[in-house]
Amino acid sequence: MENRYSIAEAKNKLPSIIHSVEKGPSVKLTRHGKPVAVLLSIQEYERLSLKKQGFWRALKTFRKLTEKEDIVISNADFKSLRDSSTGREVDWS
């Protein structure tokens, strides 16, 4: 269940809200019943703030890791991933 507090409630209960956010889900802060802000743990903030490295950089990182760990990936590893049948018959007439 999502925790919600009005800004006035949060002001009065801030220490306990912070303790709960450190251990669990984020908290929405509302003004006149509408969400206006979110309070979340530093771990969740840092996870959400990570820069995505993009495909090519991720591929390079993966290749370096496999070289470092002496992991060999061959075509045989991919052989069973796709169906090699020609598919269904199609009547083009």
CATH superfamily of the 3-49 domain: YefM-like domain (3.40.1620.10)
HSE, side-chain direction, 13 A CA sphere, residue 20: 16
- Is the pTM higher than 0.85? no
CA atoms of 29 and 34, how far apart (whole Å): 8
6-62 pLDDT, tens digit per residue, is 999 999 999 999 999 998 899 999 999 999 999 999 999 988 888 777 899 888 989
DSSP 8-state assignment for residue 38: E
Residue 14: its H or E element = helix 7-23
CA atoms of 41 and 29, how far apart (whole Å): 14
39-48 pLDDT, tens digit per residue, is 999 999 988 8
Sheet holding 27-31, edge to edge: 3-6, 27-31, 34-39
What are the residue boundaries of the structural domains of the chain, listed by start? 3-49
